[in-house]
């Protein structure tokens, strides 16, 4: 059981299309601008960081890109990280944020050991709770389909914006914030 906390309503989908920061096509440039800790959301983003020689503090992957299985080279790059990180498997259905995902994300961000969160389902919404959970000064990197990698800086403003989005989703956002705030 995935124990879904919140679900993205159809009428909010458009709000998540705009990038939450600058878009980079070069991993090295992105890394020059990134804060610490670094949270990577998505297989392709994680692959590009791994290719640039960087082990993200937290990487969240689901084996998919644009709802299709990732290419073999991407899967192999992500698998290489598995040998260098603590690996945690969680369930998270598409279009939702589950209790297991939020708890694992909170624990991974506070753990000094790099963590690979492998999601059964989809990680498409994890950027929102990741920004809420990460400390000020951190960076959350995620993919913008067909454009590049978005660098979202964790600031008081970005945390407030993500809390607002999450609170307007269907479900129990209070329970979600309780988990994230327990870090």
Give the DSSP letter of residue 9. -
pLDDT tens string 63-117: 766 667 766 677 777 777 767 778 899 999 999 999 999 999 999 999 999 999 9
Look at residues 71, 37, 67, 72 and name the one whose alpha carbon lies nearest to residue 55. 37
Q: Which of 145, 146, 142 is nearest to 154 (CA)?
A: 142
CA distance 67 to 73: 17
Per 3-state DSSP, the chain is made up of helix, strand and coil in percentages (nearest 5) of 40, 25, 35
Which of 155, 161, 183 lies closest to 35, judged by CA?
155
Give the integer Cα–Cα distance in Å for 56 and 51.
12
Least confident range from 6-10, 47-51, 71-75, 156-160: namely 71-75
Average pLDDT on 150-177 reads 96
Question: In the 3-class helix/strand/coil scheme, how is 33-66 assigned residue by residue?
Answer: HCCCCEEEECHHHHHHHHHCCCCCCEEEECCEEC
Distance of CA 97 to the CA centre of its chain: 11
CA atoms in the 13 A half-sphere facing the CB of 88: 22
Contact partners, residue 22, CB within 8 Å, separation at least 6: 33, 150, 151
Binding site feature residues for GTP: 43-45, 62, 123, 146
List 153's β-bridge partners, or say none: 139
Percent of the chain with pLDDT over 70: 92
Q: In the 8-state DSSP scheme, what is residue 83?
A: T
Q: Mean pLDDT across the stretch 36-40?
A: 96
Cα 79 to Cα 108, 130, 143, distances in angstroms: 18, 22, 19
N- to C-terminal Cα distance for the chain? 23
Q: What is the pLDDT of residue 183?
A: 59
Numbered residues of the known binding site: 43-45, 62, 123, 146
The CA distance from 175 to 125, in Å, is 17
Binned at pLDDT 50, 70 and 90, residue 60 comes out as very high
């Amino acid at each position: 059981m995935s124990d879904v906390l919140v679900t993205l309503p159809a009428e909010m989908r458009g709000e998540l299309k705009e990038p939450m920061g600058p878009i980079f096509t070069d991993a090295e440039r992105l890394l020059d601008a990134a804060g610490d800790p670094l949270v990577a959301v998505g297989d392709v983003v994680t692959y590009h960081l791994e290719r640039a020689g960087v082990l993200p503090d937290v990487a969240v992957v689901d084996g998919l890109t644009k709802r299709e299985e990732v290419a073999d080279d991407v899967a192999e790059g992500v698998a290489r990280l598995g040998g260098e990180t603590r690996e945690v498997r969680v369930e998270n259905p598409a279009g939702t944020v589950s209790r297991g995902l939020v708890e694992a994300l909170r624990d991974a961000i506070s753990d000094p050991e790099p963590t690979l969160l492998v999601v059964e389902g989809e990680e498409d919404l994890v950027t929102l709770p990741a920004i809420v959970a990460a400390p000020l000064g951190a960076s959350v990197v995620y993919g913008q389909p067909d454009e590049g990698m978005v660098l979202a800086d964790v600031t008081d403003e970005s945390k407030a914006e993500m809390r607002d989005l999450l609170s307007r989703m269907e479900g129990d956002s209070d329970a979600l914030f309780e988990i994230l705030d327990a870090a």
